[in-house]
């Protein structure tokens, strides 16, 4: 019995478990613990593929299981976090005050829900669509087409972390602004399913010549994290996209 073939799938299930726990914390507005478990899940997401390649036990089951785990950790969690941020930005209007305005609430068997926060769940739907396309797209072996779901999740999770640890009046006014959050949501959905080619972060070897753009991104990421802390995450994502566009132009 080859026990090694079960190891990567077990690690993938740890990713799934971390995602489930993160959902619980996000629902209860504990974004810090939610982020910790999401970061752990993303680590397991990277590590399961690494183990599968090292042990030479890659399988179709592992591919499908990986996407199912990502759907929770990097699909459901960011959607819930954005939903909660939008909920905080608009408040929960009383049903008596509900009007025909866009922020009206609907009332269903004693449950009151503002409509606007539900737009945050578009991130979850866009993530599911991206993961589905990725599974059947044979071209995305050496590059990604659109922003990977883990990167998008880091982008969304950085918002409450910035509020928690780098709070300022300007950041509060920006990150609690409903229109800003809706724009971020729309941008997130677009980037997930765009046709922009982004270089893969996996190293086939460690030579500088073959991985120059990856080393540049890693160096800039470290500098940004030291200087800007959690606010560096959106900058890193923007830098990643920018370097990919430059790489695409140089390749052409």
At 178, give phi and psi (nearest 5°): -60, -40
pLDDT of residue 201: 78
Superfamily of segment(s) 3-195: CDP-alcohol phosphotransferase transmembrane (TM) domain (1.20.120.1760)
Q: What is the pTM of this model?
A: 0.88
User: What residues does each domain of the chain span?
Assistant: 3-195, 196-252
23: how many CB neighbours lie within 10 A of its CB?
A: 20
For 111-117, which contacts have Cβ atoms below 8 Å and span 24 or more sequence positions? Answer: 114/87, 114/90, 116/86, 116/90, 116/178, 116/182, 117/83, 117/84, 117/86, 117/87, 117/90
Mean pLDDT estimate for the chain: 87
pLDDT > 90 in the chain, percent = 58
Q: What CA–CA distance (Å, rounded) separates 211 from 205?
A: 8
pLDDT of residue 141: 63
């Amino acid at each position: 019995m080859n026990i090694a073939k079960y190891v990567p799938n077990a690690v993938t299930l740890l990713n799934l478990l971390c995602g489930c726990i993160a959902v619980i914390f996000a629902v209860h507005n504990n974004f810090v613990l939610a982020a910790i478990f999401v970061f752990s899940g993303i680590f397991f997401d990277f590590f399961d593929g690494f183990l599968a390649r090292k042990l030479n036990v890659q399988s179709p089951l592992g591919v499908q299981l990986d996407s199912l785990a990502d759907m929770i950790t990097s699909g459901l969690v960011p959607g819930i976090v954005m939903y909660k941020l939008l909920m905080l930005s608009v408040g929960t209007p009383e049903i008596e005050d509900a009007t025909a305005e866009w922020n009206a609430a609907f009332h269903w068997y004693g449950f009151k829900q503002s409509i606007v926060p539900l737009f945050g769940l578009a991130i979850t739907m866009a993530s599911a669509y991206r993961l589905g396309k990725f599974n059947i797209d044979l071209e995305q072996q050496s590059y990604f087409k659109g922003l990977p779901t883990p990167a998008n999740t880091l982008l969304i999770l950085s918002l409450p972390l910035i509020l928690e640890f780098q709070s300022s009046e300007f950041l509060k006014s920006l990150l609690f602004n409903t229109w800003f959050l809706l724009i971020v949501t729309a941008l997130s959905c677009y980037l997930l399913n765009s046709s922009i080619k982004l270089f893969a972060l996996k190293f086939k070897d460690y030579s500088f010549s073959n991985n120059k753009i990856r080393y540049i991104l890693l160096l800039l990421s470290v500098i940004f994290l030291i200087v800007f802390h959690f606010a560096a995450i959106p900058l890193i994502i923007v830098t990643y996209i920018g370097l990919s566009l430059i790489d695409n132009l140089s390749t052409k």
